[in-house]
Structure 1
Amino acid sequence: MNLFYNPKITEASKEVVFDKEESRHILKVLRMKAGDKFKITNGEGSFFDAEIISTNPKQCIAKILSEEKIAPLPYSLHLAVAPTKLNDRYEWFLEKATEIGISEITPIICDHSERKVIKNERFEKIIQSAAKQSLKAFLPILNEAVSFRDFIEADFSETVKYIAHCEETEKKSLKSVLLPKKKILILIGPEGDFSTEEIELAKKNHFIPVGLGESRLRTETAAIVACHSVAFINEN
């Protein structure tokens, strides 16, 4: 099934107009023609059946035929993950987390962060591509990068909060404390881990220290382990 993304579609929409890049993909790459049908999502929980009615390569137009509402995830997962030194590793995390199932992502700039500037436009495209490939009706929210200290003091009401770190201090296994159908926030640090001061600040703000297993994991791997752990506990 070919799935396309257009955030402007609503249940009141009668047709959708694709931009030049998407039109070219539909008509030149996929070789679709007038009368062909495909699905579109607005990233907010709906699949729309659509039919091509105009094959202008600069502005392909499709008629909306029907809408299907998709149930959201039975949980909410917000991962706050420090940017990796190499962008492609963070992009890999974004892609896989979107495929597995995640609600929100925030890049956090930490004491040990080697990368402090990111380009959300590129990351948004990675998320959109992964959502289309894995047939997701919901796109995760990607927030702007924020400092660890600003993020940690924000109000996350009714959220179970965890900080995953590698220090040899008292902490619990993430898999042992997770419960299904919860609103969850997990912090994942940079390659050099969170600083001791950051860990203590998180604890003061009611974040529960957790470990992700015996192995020392890369940032992007740790984020995917956390993402999958939450998805797994909610499978039943």
Structure 2
Amino acid sequence: MQLFYNPNISASDSYRNTKEVTFDKEESRHIVKVLRMKEGDTFKITNGKGTFFNAEIISANPKGCLVKILSEENQSPLPYKLHLVVAPTKLNDRYEWFLEKATEIGVSEITPIICDHSERKVIKVERYEKILQSAMKQSLKAFLPVLNPAISFKEFIETKNDTDSLRFIAHCEETDKKSLKSLLLPKKNITILIGPEGDFSSEEIDLAIKNGFNPVALGESRLRTETAAVVACHSVAFVNEV
């Protein structure tokens, strides 16, 4: 199945057989020039909000491909809400790899967090959004993860504390901590903090614990930031498998 992304479509009965949608220049060129699709060809579109739309090309214009919505169907959301709060990596491509894999596995929300030991403090929001969109389409998902602006560790702890979720901080210090997998429960909202290459500072760990975050380990090995984030993401997905 070929899946495309268009955030400007809303799920509504009134759109069936009547709604026409135009793609932007980049997506239009991909449809017409790269895939060589033409008038009458059909494919699926998602708005990233949980709906698939079956569409037919009316005008195969590489600068503005026009399609007609034929029908729509909803995809079931994840049985959990996973918020990954992950420090940007020194090498940007590693963070992009994490974004891609987490989207494929299943994540609801991602927040880049700037920590005491962070070497990268500026992120490429537009680039990251493209990575998420591409991964969503590749994995045939109808939900686009929310990407929040980068925020400092302290500000996140003070303002973004979801009291209705299970909250964890994964760190490498030799202190009393349990395995993440042993604490996870299915169908729960979950927030997991993952630090930078130099790990969280002792002060940050203490602050998180004082604010209700449980310290956890992700295994016996010392993992890179992006690997730790993907391991955490997969652990949550595994617990929620039927």
TM-score scaled to structure 2, two decimals? Answer: 0.96
1:17-71 deviation digits (Å, cap 9, x = unpaired): 0111111110110010100000000000000000000112211100000010111
Mind listing any 5+ residue stretches in structure 2 that lack a counterpart? none
- 1:180 is matched with which residue: 177, 183, 186? 186
Residue 101 of structure 1: aligned partner: 106
Q: Counterpart of 2:117 in 1: which secondary structure?
A: coil
1:128-154 deviation digits (Å, cap 9, x = unpaired): 000000001001000000000000112
Q: CA deviation at 1:114?
A: 0.2
Q: Is 2:28 the counterpart of 1:23?
A: yes
Q: CA deviation at 1:227?
A: 0.1
- 2:2 aligned partner, one-letter code: N
Q: Is 2:170 the counterpart of 1:167?
A: no
Q: Is 2:11 the counterpart of 1:5?
A: no
- 1:2 aligned partner, one-letter code: Q
The 2-side partners of 1:197 and 1:57 are apart by 54
Q: Counterpart of 2:96 in 1: which secondary structure?
A: helix
The 2-side partners of 1:195 and 1:187 are apart by 13
Q: CA deviation at 1:11?
A: 2.3
The runs of at least 4 consecutive aligned structure 1 residues that moved more than 2 Å come to: none
The 2-side partners of 1:89 and 1:99 are apart by 16
Equivalenced residues, count: 236
- 2:59 is matched with which residue: 34, 39, 54? 54
* Cα RMSD (Å): 0.7
1:164-221 deviation digits (Å, cap 9, x = unpaired): 0000001010000100000000000000000000000000000000000000000000
- 1:10 aligned partner, one-letter code: S
- 1:218 is matched with which residue: 224, 227, 238? 224
Mind listing any 5+ residue stretches in structure 1 that lack a counterpart? none
Residue 156 of structure 2: aligned partner: 151
Residue 42 of structure 1: aligned partner: 47
